[in-house]
């Protein structure tokens, strides 16, 4: 279990570094600081004593924007008709939302640790959509983001959340 946590920490640190490089370097330091201010990242998503984790307004807004971005092109994604350029635009938009979520994080440390698992999955999807993940198609990256959104909905309280269309 400790090895799994360390692996997730390394993934989040690498994602923070990648985000920081894309944003001019400052976000990497912020992500690193953010990671150390909160509880250790658990090995798997869990409910909060059987209940969904509470969210805050910036998180809900960012996740809705990610959901809406994916939902707007879901037909093209599922029909494998989205161009590499459009996947790049989608990845950039989602990456911007993740930056906003991380920068505005005010969750309880335990909820934040759970959120890191969802964010890590979103960032893996973004990397694939950008064409940076070897042997992973851009379409699979978008589907991974969709899966992360489903996990978010299952583990986090978000009044009015609309699932992605299928």
CATH classification of the domain holding 132:
1.20.120
The answer to whether residue 24 scores a pLDDT higher than 90 is no
pLDDT for the residue 39 = 53
Residue 142 lies in a domain: yes
Residues 74-116: pLDDT tens digits? 999 999 999 999 999 999 999 999 999 999 989 999 999 999 9
Q: Which of the two residues, 22 and 97, has the higher pLDDT score?
A: 97
Query: For 83-99, what is the HEC assignment?
Result: CHHHHHHHHHHHHHHHH
Residue 23 lies in a domain: no
∠ Cα 124 119 103 (to 5°): 125
Residue 108 lies in a domain: yes
Measure the CA–CA gap between 95 and 77, rounded to whole angstroms.
18
Please state the domain count of the chain.
1
pLDDT for the residue 69 = 97
Residues 25-67: pLDDT tens digits? 334 334 434 444 445 667 899 999 999 999 999 999 999 999 9
Residue 25 lies in a domain: no
Residue 74 lies in a domain: yes
Phi and psi at residue 50, to the nearest 5°: 85, -5
Residue ranges making up the domain that contains 84: 54-155
DSSP three-state, residue 165: coil
Residue 163 lies in a domain: no
């Amino acid at each position: 279990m400790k090895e799994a946590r360390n692996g997730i920490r390394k993934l989040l640190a690498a994602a923070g570094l990648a985000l920081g490089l894309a944003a001019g370097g400052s976000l990497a330091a912020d992500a690193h600081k953010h990671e150390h201010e909160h509880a250790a990242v658990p090995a798997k998503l869990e409910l909060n004593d059987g209940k969904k984790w509470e969210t805050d307004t910036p998180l809900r807004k960012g996740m809705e924007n990610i959901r809406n971005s994916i939902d707007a092109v879901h037909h093209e994604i599922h029909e494998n008709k989205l161009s590499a350029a459009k996947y790049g635009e989608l990845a950039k938009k989602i990456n911007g939302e993740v930056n906003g979520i991380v920068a505005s994080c005010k969750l309880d440390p335990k909820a934040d640790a759970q959120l890191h698992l969802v964010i890590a999955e979103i960032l893996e999807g973004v990397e694939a959509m950008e064409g940076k993940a070897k042997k992973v198609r851009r379409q699979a990256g978008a589907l991974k983001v969709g899966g992360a959104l489903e996990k978010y909905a299952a583990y986090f309280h978000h009044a009015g959340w609309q699932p992605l269309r299928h």
